[in-house]
Amino acid sequence: MVANILEMRSITKTFPGVKALQEVSLSVERGEVHAICGENGAGKSTLMKVLSGVYPHGSYDGEIVFEGDPVEFRDIRDSEKSGIVIIHQELALSPFLSIAENIFLGNEISRRGFIDWDKTNLEAAKLLARVGLSDNPTTKVVDIGVGKQQLVEIAKALSKEVKLLILDEPTAALNDEDSAHLLDLIRHLKEQGITSIIISHKLNEIKAIADKVTIIRDGKTIETLDMRKDEISENRIIKGMVGRDLEHRYPDRTPKIGDEVLRIEDWTVHHPTEHDRVVIHGANIVARAGEVVGIAGLMGAGRTELAMSVFGRSYGSGISGRVYMHGDEVKVRTVSDAIKAGIAYATEDRKRYGLNLLEDVKRNVSAASLDKLARLGWVDGNQEHIVANEYRTSMNIKAPSVESITGKLSGGNQQKVVLSKWMFADPDVLILDEPTRGIDVGAKYEIYTIINKLAAEGKAIIVISSELPELLGISDRIYALSEGHITGEMSIADATPEALMQYMTKEKEK
């Protein structure tokens, strides 16, 4: 039996005007967990799409050898027949089908030309048990959380007798508990002889689980590090990814905090459909000019619900309380009201709510501020192009032109487009919900630099983040949220992970 289950040799993949991969080589040992790291746009996902047949043989140069034999996959079904299964960051589950239906979709268990539902549900239950789920196989996918959906995807892969499992950012949308469960499952699969390739930006998880790490930069293989033989630090991986040492993960900043810009008083929000259920309880928040205010909280604490409800009541029902801008009460009944008042909100789900992925960069940058470009009721296309190009340059958005389709950009560059949209709107308060989720450390540093620049211009910045080190690294002051209650407020001088966690897990007073 060959030691390497997979060898990709001198893979080159070209798109019109862009060489995404250039002579990339990758060797993966049988039964190991192999991580692939690199900045957004480095070519990681492209390489895995070549491997899995999403980009078929003939559309790239180079050779793929699987289990000792050269393979030429024409599509994803070909690779799955060989035992290679890829789970993309955007899960490919049908929400209104049952768990069992999703697991065997396209691979149905039939008898005499009809689906055998009893056997389908029985086999699905066995697969769910293998990934640590006890849910009823007839449960609709829409009724389970994202963490369980990720496990259903793995159960689906196991149903195809997977030999090599590819996971693209598997924990990007998961909380800490679900992430830990998933990593444990990958270790368990390793014990069963299943090889895994993981693409991830979470270097602490890579250190915890990977046997080897291959680093790709600018479409080229830089190096492969053996995590079992060497003491490989996160900074060592970062150096390979970005081509330089990041001595400080967060750029230096000397805050110049001015007068109060935003004040939220006694803000209470009920669930949009369960009207008796209170989601936010009497929240009070202040943000000042030039200040970066962090909001910390566990999943389900109400962070996003708070932000969205303030931003034109985008979430919730039965909302009460007051919002003040520069000391004057403002009404924020609609998104347009919020924008006119000087409040902007960059959503945590940029792909679904923050951008039109089918439109170009230009249209996305101008989307929230078309009135600024209007001439006699019509948008001035030339001015729109000029403005978008200025942001493409100043924000270092890696796109050939502002006519590039936004959905084809990397996650980090998409996030820069979102920020450009709101910078052009010129708000006084910018609420950033998970601004660095799913992007690499190099792009994160650029986002932090942009945040600092906006604060230096006198904007009040509110940052919601699940990463405590991030909040501690960029904030001047942090509010903690637990079960919809503001449970604490700390200056950065007093804030520690332990103190914040105490507030974040504090139960509401009886």
Predicted local confidence at residue 505, as pLDDT: 80
Q: Report the pLDDT averaged over residues 393-419.
A: 88
Q: Which residue has the tokens 């950065």?
A: 492
Query: What whole-number distance in Å separates Cα of residue 226 and Cα of residue 331?
Result: 57
Residue in the structure block whose two tokens are 């000019």: 289
How far is it, in rounded angstroms, from Cα 95 to Cα 152? 12
Residue 71: burial class (beta carbons within 10 Å; 0-12, 13-18, 19+): middle
The percent of residues above 70 in pLDDT, for the chain, comes to: 97
Decide if pLDDT at 439 tops 80.
no
Q: Are the beta carbons of 471 and 316 closer than 8 angstroms?
A: no
- In the chain the domains, ranked by start, together with CATH numbers, are 4-242 (3.40.50.300), 250-342+427-509 (3.40.50.300), 351-426 (no CATH)
For the cut 70, the answer to whether the pLDDT of residue 246 exceeds it is no
- Helix (H) or strand (E) holding 24, with range, is strand 18-29
Residue 1 clears pLDDT 70, i.e. is over it: no
Q: How is residue 444 written in tokens?
A: 């994160």
Mean pLDDT within 239-247? 69
* Residue 229 confidence (pLDDT): 80
Over residues 372-395, the mean pLDDT reads 89
Q: Characterize the bridge pairing of strands 195-199 and 164-168.
A: parallel
Whole-number Å distance between alpha carbons of 141 and 114: 23
Per-residue pLDDT at 245: 56
pLDDT range class, residue 490, cuts 50, 70, 90: very high
Mean of the per-residue pLDDT values for the chain? 89
Give the pLDDT of residue 510. Answer: 43
| Range in 42-46, 71-75, 86-90 with the lowest mean pLDDT | 86-90
For the stretch 334-361, pLDDT in tens is: 999 999 999 999 988 887 788 899 999 9
Average pLDDT over residues 99-119: 89
Residue from 449, 472, 440, 477 nearest 462 by CA: 477
Name the pairing type of β-strands 33-37 and 195-199: parallel
Residues 115, 122: Cα–Cα separation, whole Å: 13
Q: Decide if 344 contacts 422 (C-beta within 8 A).
A: yes
Strand 84-87, strand 164-168: pairing: parallel
What is the per-residue pLDDT for 17?
A: 65
For 318, other C-beta atoms within 10 Å of its C-beta total 14
Q: What's the mean pLDDT in 382-392? A: 92
Side chain identity at 267, as an amino acid letter? W
Q: Tell me the angle at which helices 146-159 and 117-130 cross, rounded to the nearest 10 degrees.
A: 110
Predicted pLDDT of residue 4: 92
Alpha carbon separation from 169 to 95, 159, 335, 411 (Å, rounded): 20, 21, 32, 12
- Cα separation of 296 and 17, whole Å? 42
What DSSP assignment string belongs to 28-84? Answer: EETT-EEEEE--TTSSHHHHHHHHTTSS-TTSSEEEEEETTEEE--SSHHHHHHTTE
Q: What mean pLDDT is predicted for residues 224-232? A: 85
Of 121-135, 233-247, 348-362, which range is least confident?
A: 233-247
Question: What mean pLDDT is predicted for residues 45-61?
Answer: 93
- Mean pLDDT to the nearest integer, 229-251: 76
Q: According to the 3-state scheme, what is the secondary structure of 425-471? A: HCCCEEEEECCCCCCCHHHHHHHHHHHHHHHHCCCEEEEECCCHHHH
Q: Which of 182, 180, 199 is nearest to 190 (CA)?
A: 182
CA dihedral over 302, 350, 44, 159, signed as positive or negative:
positive
Burial of residue 447, with CB atoms counted within 10 A of its CB: 0-12 exposed, 13-18 middle, 19 or more buried:
buried
What is the arithmetic mean of pLDDT over 212-237?
Answer: 87
- For 5-41, write each residue's pLDDT tens digit: 999 999 999 987 678 899 999 999 999 999 998 876 7
pLDDT at 272 over 60: yes
For the chain, what percent of residues have pLDDT higher than 90?
55
pLDDT over 80 at 426, yes or no: yes
Q: Are 185 and 131 in contact (CB under 8 A)?
A: yes
- Give residue-wise pLDDT tens across range 165-211: 999 888 876 777 778 888 888 999 899 899 999 998 788 888 889 99
pLDDT tier for residue 509 given thresholds of 50, 70 and 90: low
